[in-house]
A = this chain, B = another copy of it.
Amino acid sequence: MATPFAPLAPGSTIGILGGGQLGRMLSQAAGRLGFDVVILDPEDNSPAGRVSRGQIVAAYDDPTALNVFGRVCDVVTFEFENVPATSMERLAEAGALVAPGPVALAVTQDRVEEKTFLNGVGAATVAFAAIDSLDDLTAALDTLGTPSVLKTRREGYDGKGQVWIKSPRQAEAAFEAIEGRPAVLEARADFARELSIIAARGRDGAVAVYPLGENRHAGGVLRTTLAPAVVDARTERRARAIARAVMEGLEYVGVIGIELFDLGNGQLLVNEIAPRVHNTGHWTQDGCVCDQFEQHIRAVAGWPLGPTAAHARVEMQNLLGEEVEQWSKLAAKADARLHLYGKTEARPGRKMAHVNRVRPL
């Protein structure tokens, strides 16, 4: 259960594990509320470190670094879900409050655990099976049919660590492609569109949910989010109920991102959940008074949650790799709100910036 907790006073220090763009935008939000921020990231001068009070340059599982980090920070949070469980333990030992907590991390780090949890709280997913051997895979392909997708249970994001299987004959090659790691086979969802919902839960158990976003991916990477998505009231209600059930089930504190398949027949399936601020929530920066980054800081600092209503319709577009060169053209457009991450090297496909195009509701 969320424990009683006096709201953290401005001037306190918030620690963020991970120094990428999510950490950077979290740090900027924390700064506006008067907090100091310290980043832990192995890359020196990380995007987040450059806008924060300080950065500890160390591996995420470095015991000494975690000890120092846990001691200088009043609360520690993270920008990615693959935080080692031992790191969480070390931070707790050093006296730092960590949010979201270990339950949320353990569940979302493992695709089988996550789907099992989701079904348990009444949130439907595609049919799936845990795969530990080629025999498991062959049997599961019989049950789930093809096409289906084989994903490693742990790690993997933006389409990495997964392979589509189009016929049972591809089973062996697919299992080799993921190097025989523990995996999950997922039936294909025959969805009409991809939606997502960004929500938050405070230390007091209060829940706040943003309007839904509609997402387009390409090559496994998010390209655009349009929000608020045009959805009927029933879908909106269902999505909000899923968000609440998931957060309560995880005893969650912070912002969560939940990806949904809209089957077009009134049914929603949860694709995956991310226990952190989420790329599909970037639209809130220019569409809401209190964006997902401030909301997350409020939640982990024990502040009351902020308002989540949209005051504008936003089309968020990721700028990947060299697309960031468009900045000078976009800077001249009155409706284009640019958010650049301060990354020096524009490697192909790397998330460099995003632009929110703002329209009246």
Contacts and interface: CB of A to CB of B under 8 A. Distances in A.
A331 B289 contact: no
A52 interface: yes
A340 interface: yes
Given A10-B324, A28-B51, 10 more contacts: A28-B28, A28-B32, A31-B50, A33-B340, A34-B342, A34-B353, A36-B50, A290-B337, A304-B331, A311-B312
A34 B341 contact: yes
A286 B294 CA distance: 14
A332 to B, nearest CB: 4
A60 interface: no
A328 B298 CA distance: 11
Contacts of A278: none
A148 B177 CA distance: 85
A282 to B, nearest CB: 12
The size class of the interface chain A forms with chain B is 35 or more
Nearest to A337: B289
B289 A340 contact: no
Contacts of A304: 331-332
Given A31-B51, A289-B358, A11 B334 contact: no
A344 interface: yes
A334 B306 contact: yes
A8 to B, nearest CB: 10
Nearest to A331: B303
Contacts of A344: 11
A344 B12 CA distance: 10
A327 interface: yes
A290 B295 CA distance: 21
A53 interface: yes
A7 B311 contact: no
A57 B10 CA distance: 24
B328 A7 contact: yes
Contact of A342 (B7, B10, B307): B10
A7 B331 contact: yes
A51 to B, nearest CB: 4
A223 interface: no
Contacts of A327: 9-10, 34
Nearest to A327: B10
A340 B289 CA distance: 16
A24 B339 CA distance: 18
A116 to B, nearest CB: 37
A286 B291 CA distance: 12
Nearest to A33: B340
Contact of A331 (B24, B52, B298): B298
